[in-house]
Amino acid sequence: AQSVTQLDSQVPVFEEAPVELRCNYSSSVSVYLFWYVQYPNQGLQLLLKYLSGSTLVKGINGFEAEFNKSQTSFHLRKPSVHISDTAEYFCAVSGLDTGRRALTFGSGTRLQVQP
């Protein structure tokens, strides 16, 4: 079984400032890691994923994340945010024990970009 902890429920930031959304996970098996974004009244959109290989992964909309196995973290970063990045962000893992199918989500981080 896996668990995911998103350390911040809300992150306010000014437009054009950098941002980091933190995610830690726990698992007894190998995992894949994902970040999803959810805009109001919409489903989830995949931002980026880590399956294997390079620990720095780049996603859509200028986001990137770094997998740190020793710290079991997968923090999401963006060097300069826009008003349109205001949304809820979810970190998720899928484990080999479920055939990498069932996603376990964190509780979400609401990013609020202010002008």
Contact residues: other proteins, CB under 8 A: 32, 34, 36, 41-46, 49, 51, 90, 92, 94, 98-108
Minimum CB distance to other proteins smaller for 73 or for 104: 104
Closest to 18 (Cα-Cα) out of 76, 91, 90: 76
Please list, in sequence order, all residues whose beta carbon lies within 8 angstroms of the beta carbon of residue 41, skipping any fewer than 6 positions away: none
Minimum CB distance to other proteins smaller for 36 or for 78: 36
Taking the complex as a whole, the smallest distance from the CB of residue 78 to other proteins amounts, in Å, to: 21
Taking the complex as a whole, the smallest distance from the CB of residue 35 to other proteins amounts, in Å, to: 12
| DSSP-assigned states of every residue in 38-70 | E-TT--EEEEEEE-SS-SEEE-GGG-EEEEETT
